[in-house]
Amino acid sequence: MELLSLLIWLPILGGALVILIGNNRADTARWASVAISIVVFVVSLSLYTEFDSSTHLMQFEEKVSWISQFNINYHIGIDGISMPLIILTTFSTILVIIAGWEVITRRTAHYMAAFLIMEGLIIGVFSSLDAILFYAFWEASLIPMLLIIGIWGGDNRVYAAIKFFLYTFLGSVMLLVSLIYMYNKGGSFGILDMHNLNLTLAEQSYIFWAFFVAFAVKVPMFPVHTWLPDAHVQAPTGGSVILAAIMLKMGGYGFFRFSLPITPDASLEFSDVVIALSLIAIVYIGFVALVQRDMKKLIAYSSISHMGFVTLGVFALFSILTMGADGSLVSLNGGSIDGALLGLEGAMVQMISHGFISAAMFLVVGVLYDRLHSREISTYGGVINSMPKFTGFAVLFAMANAGLPGTSGFVGEFMVILGAVQANIWYAVLAATTLIVGAAYTLWMVKRVFWGSITNDAVKTLKDINGREFLILAILAAAVLIVGLYPQPIIEVMHSSIEHLLNQALTSKL
């Protein structure tokens, strides 16, 4: 099996194996799961080490005919956009498996297996180069998450699980329709063929909106975001981590892989709408986050607000550059190619960084929830007195969430804001309010949960984090700091692909 296939099927088969081990042998299941996830992660690192960052062409490509009547192929491959997201996936999976270690006592093997299987399916999403294969992975990855929320979730888990499923399913049906339409027109389900498929503006518009519904729900963008707080609140910690760290990125990835290259003219046409929705997400959702009383809800809203930077960074490029008659890129408002690249690459960095930070924030809440079974901010207060080590981590991640320079949270926001200035200063003004509002909701929560003196006796009895929790948080802290202090390696691998994408997005199909 080739490397990429191995990465998809190893965790899926591993998951099956863990199910066979069974819930009765929970410890074996745990160790097997963590071993599999580590192996997968190590294997995925060779994608990075053997990656050729000088080209935008697909690498590690595999192509086998699958359903030949319809020219559907098992076609996979990665470029600089998908590779970092795959490594993020393999990285995060290890963490959630360790995080669920002694917390999940009911159907442990099934829990672990669900995450492993989901890992394989999501890697499949990021590496598919055939639209039907993509769609199959895209839909299939919903199932383990649905089960995770539905089985291991909180009291209102069924409502949340169904809401989650219906929302995302609604989006993806539209996606399927537009994929079939393009097959009828071009005779291929190959995503790269679709990039080159000529479409009229009307066709592009329909397809753009179909894509948009699918991806915007996943991101999630205003106003189709309301499933996320419910899903997060009901999901177990590990579910929230994967949901925030990776599943949301599938939406962002869709804009990169489908919307911009397949419907460039429609993307230009409607970029203002997308930007407006992104800015609403950043500002409006920031205010909503401020008044949350449930920590998970607060972080969920904060996620939506941060993901607004992704869509803003992607679509700002249409207000920065345009394609001149001679095929060269022309600046619109005095902006530069660098500005457009800052937006796009900033969006990518923001996705990766958000993967670390949101994961960390949900794990932090998980640590508290495991102890006192409450997510209410008002339950806590003065946690630093009983959990000083834990508070150190929590404050670091909170600062990262508030975009402090030196942490990964700063890099993406900084890049997108610098890019947005060149698109329209008002975009930047609105986006930059996150500096204030983001700090306000995050640090106000920190103040009420961690600082102050203890008012609730239960807080007094809290035990500081154990070795397992320390390990997970320390790994994430290292990731947050490394990306914050030295983001260049990530940017380097994506650069050729992003430059190519920029050209695709600005090349009219009309």
Partner 1 sequence: MENIYLTIALAPLLGAIIAGFFGGMLGRKATHTITILGVLVSTVLALYVFNHHVLEKGEIFNQNLYTWMQIGSLNISVGFLIDNLTSVMLVVVSFVSLMVHIYTIGYMDDDDGYTKFFSYISLFTFSMFMLVMSNNFMQLFFGWEAVGLVSYLLIGFWHHKESAVEANLKAFLVNRVGDFGFLLGIGLVLAFSGSLDYAEVFSSLDNTTNQQLWGLDLITVICLLLFVGAMGKSAQVPLHVWLPGSMEGPTPISALIHAATMVTAGIFMVSRMSPMFELSDVALTVVMVIGAITALFMGLLGIVQNDIKKVVAYSTLSQLGYMTVALGVSAYSVAIFHLMTHAFFKALLFLGAGSVIVAMHHEQDIRKMGGLRKKMPITYWTALVGTLALIGFPGFAGFYSKDMIIEAVHFSSLPYAEWVYYAVVAGVFITAFYSFRMFFLVFHGKSRVDHHTEEHLHESAPSITFPLIALAIPSAVIGYFTIDPMLFNGWLDNAITIDAEKHVSMTELSNIFHGAAAMIPHAVQTLPFWMMVGGIATAWVFSLYRTQWADWVQNKFHRTNYALESLYGFDRFNEIVFVGGIKKLGNLLWKVSDMGIIDKIAVNGSARLVGFIGSVVRPIQTGYVYHYAFFMIFSLLIILTWVLFAGDNPLLQIEF
Residues that bind partner 1 (CB under 8 A): 163, 166-167, 223, 226-227, 284, 287-292, 334-339, 341-342, 345, 382, 384-385, 395, 399, 404-406, 410-411, 414-415, 417-418, 420-422, 425, 428-429, 432-433, 435-436, 439-440, 443-444, 447, 450-453, 486-488, 491-492, 495, 499
Containing 412, the helix (H) or strand (E) segment is helix 408-423
Buried b / exposed e along 57-94 (16+ C-beta atoms within 10 A): ebbbebeeebeeeebbbbbbbbbbbbbbbbbbbbbbbb
CB 493 within 8 A of CB 83: yes
Tokens 């920031």, residue located:
286
Q: How far is CA 355 from CA 39, 121, 321, 366, 412, in A?
A: 20, 17, 29, 16, 12
Structure tokens at 341: 């690249």
**Least distance to partner 1 from the beta carbon of 215, Å?**
18
Q: Based on CB atoms, which residue is closest to partner 1, 75 or 163? A: 163
Containing 403, the helix (H) or strand (E) segment is none
Q: Based on CB atoms, which residue is closest to partner 1, 245 or 420? A: 420
Closest CA to 508 of 288, 325, 319: 325
Q: Based on CB atoms, which residue is closest to partner 1, 174 or 491? A: 491
Q: Is 280 exposed, middle or buried (0-12, 13-18, 19+ CB in 10 A)?
A: middle
**Least distance to partner 1 from the beta carbon of 374, Å?**
20
CB 328 within 8 A of CB 348: no
Q: Based on CB atoms, which residue is closest to partner 1, 179 or 421? A: 421
Q: Based on CB atoms, which residue is closest to partner 1, 2 or 492? A: 492
**Least distance to partner 1 from the beta carbon of 438, Å?**
9
Q: Based on CB atoms, which residue is closest to partner 1, 70 or 486? A: 486
Query: SS3 helix, strand, coil % of the chain, rounded to 5?
Result: 75, 5, 20
Q: Based on CB atoms, which residue is closest to partner 1, 20 or 435? A: 435
Q: Based on CB atoms, which residue is closest to partner 1, 433 or 504? A: 433
* Residue 51 Rama label (left phi>0; alpha psi -120 to 50; beta): beta
**Least distance to partner 1 from the beta carbon of 292, Å?**
8
Q: Based on CB atoms, which residue is closest to partner 1, 115 or 410? A: 410
**Least distance to partner 1 from the beta carbon of 457, Å?**
16
Q: Based on CB atoms, which residue is closest to partner 1, 270 or 441? A: 441
**Least distance to partner 1 from the beta carbon of 440, Å?**
6
Reported for 106-110, long-range contacts at CB under 8 A and 24+ positions apart, including other chains, are 106/152, 107/23, 107/151, 107/152, 108/23, 108/26, 108/29, 108/30, 109/18, 109/19, 109/21, 109/22, 109/23, 109/25, 109/26, 109/29, 110/19, 110/23, 110/151
Q: How far is CA 291 from the centre of its chain?
A: 24
CB 178 within 8 A of CB 211: yes
**Least distance to partner 1 from the beta carbon of 473, Å?**
15
**Least distance to partner 1 from the beta carbon of 229, Å?**
8
CB 233 within 8 A of CB 239: no
Q: Concatenate the DSSP letters of all residues of 164-213 into one string.
A: HHHHHHHHHHHHHHHHHHHHHHHS--BHHHHHT----HHHHHHHHHHHHH
CB 259 within 8 A of CB 344: no
**Least distance to partner 1 from the beta carbon of 283, Å?**
10
**Least distance to partner 1 from the beta carbon of 447, Å?**
5
Q: Based on CB atoms, which residue is closest to partner 1, 108 or 442? A: 442
Q: Based on CB atoms, which residue is closest to partner 1, 33 or 422? A: 422
Structure tokens at 19: 């199910």
| 3-state SS, one letter per residue, for 273-284 | HHHHHHHHHHHH
**Least distance to partner 1 from the beta carbon of 272, Å?**
20
**Least distance to partner 1 from the beta carbon of 188, Å?**
23
**Least distance to partner 1 from the beta carbon of 293, Å?**
10
Detail the DSSP E strand segments found in 13-84: 59-67, 72-78
Residues 6+ apart with CB under 8 A from 75: 61, 62, 63, 64, 128, 129, 130, 133, 190
Containing 297, the helix (H) or strand (E) segment is helix 295-315
Report how far residue 286's alpha carbon sits from residue 283's, in angstroms, rounded to the nearest whole number.
Answer: 5
Q: Based on CB atoms, which residue is closest to partner 1, 369 or 450? A: 450
